[in-house]
Each structure stands twice: as C-alpha cells, then as structure tokens.
Amino acid sequence: MNKAEDMLWVSQVVISDDRRAFDRLVQKYQSSIRRFLQNLTMGDKALSDDLAQETFIKAYLNIRSFQGISAFSTWLYRIAYNTFYDSVRARHIYEELNIAEFDRKNFTETEYSSDKSDIFVALKLLRADEQAAILLCYMEDKTHKEIAKILNIPLGTVKTNILKGKEKMGKFLTQAGYGN
C-alpha cells in the first residue's frame, strides 16, 4: 500500500497538478526528511527546516522526472541529500572540520543531551559520504540498496562507508568514555 499510495499521489500531481495530493506526500515524508537533514546539519534546526522546504519545492517542480524505478521516498531522500550538499558547497564549508572548534550553540539541553552532542561530534569526524550512509542506515532505517540509490554510489561503497564510519565513531566514543 505504501508504494502504491505514493504512486497514486504522484500520478495525481503529474496528471492534474493536484496540490492536495502533493500535500499528502509532504505530510507523509516531512518529519523523516527534516530529521535526516537535521542530523546532516549537526542539529541546526533552522538550516534543516530551510533545506527541507527547499527539498519539497524541488520535488514539486521536478515531480514529472520521477520515473518510479525506485520508491518515491528514495527519490525524495536523494533530493534532500543533494540540497544539503549544494548548501555546504555554497557556504564553502566543505573543508576539514576541526573538532576543537565544534560549536554547541545549536544544541539546547532540552533538545539534545550531552550524549547526542557527542554523537554529532563523532559524526563530524566522518567524511560527508560516511556521515550520510550512517545517518540513512541507522537514523532513517534505509537498506544498503536504498542508500546506494539515494547517494548514487555502488552498493559496496555504501557497505564500506558504513563500516569505516562505525569504526571511526566507535573509536571516538570509546575514548570519550562510552562503552567498555
């Protein structure tokens, strides 16, 4: 029902420009797309909300290019990831991150515990492709195959990125006092 329901709404948007059908798609995926982007932006709620809005605008404008080969959610996550990546490039942030300069201003005690901020610090240790693969796998419950489509990389690379990302994060979190 999930994929069929999405395809019905997509076809209503494409055929008759039914904005209510698109609104249903937005309502269905809004929370997960925002969560994915908030994790990619290391908790920057304002930026992730802006990126989510831009993602849905791009999806609406380009919905006729959706071919239905993969799930609508996979197509939408791909747009979200590209939107995030474009914002990073536009801000000239895509450089090596210095953990000593980690800015905790995006975290409030009620929203993010110190444990969560340590996870964000650990995520910052990863390359962008490792971060995205880890977040899609463990935060968004995407399969390796779906992640490969979203990130447009080979399945083996996804598995490697997840493995290396887990190792780097595990090492950092162990040194920070988590685990054994």
Please tell me the pTM assigned to this model.
0.77
Question: Would you say 66 and 7 are in contact if contact means Cβ atoms under 8 Å apart?
Answer: no
Burial per residue of 34-49, b for 16 or more beta-carbon CB atoms within 10 angstroms, e otherwise: bebbbbbbbbbeebbe
Q: How many domains does the chain have?
A: 2
Statement to judge: residues 5 and 82 lie in one domain: yes
Q: Which amino acid is at 71?
A: A
Structure-token pair, residue 138: 């463990």
Question: Pick the residue with more confidence: 180 or 85?
Answer: 85
**Per-residue confidence (pLDDT) for residue 101, from 0 to 100:** 46
Statement to judge: residues 19 and 31 lie in one domain: yes
Statement to judge: residues 57 and 101 lie in one domain: no
Is the Cα torsion angle 133, 135, 138, 143 positive or negative in sign? Answer: negative
pLDDT (mean) for 22-30: 97
Which of 95, 114, 135 is a domain's end point? 95
**CA torsion, ordered 68, 128, 38, 173, to nearest 10 deg:** 130
Question: Would you say 17 and 70 are in contact if contact means Cβ atoms under 8 Å apart?
Answer: no
Comparing CA positions, the residue from 159, 138, 140 lying closest to residue 148 is 159
How would residue 140 be classed by pLDDT, with cut points 50, 70 and 90? very high
Statement to judge: residues 46 and 75 lie in one domain: yes
Task: Give the domain extent around 154.
Answer: 97-180
What residues contact residue 132 under an 8 Å CB cut-off, 6+ apart?
40, 81, 147, 150, 151, 161
The CATH number given to whatever domain includes residue 105 is 1.10.10.10
**Per-residue confidence (pLDDT) for residue 95, from 0 to 100:** 47
Residue 109 has pLDDT above 60, yes or no: no
Statement to judge: residues 17 and 91 lie in one domain: yes
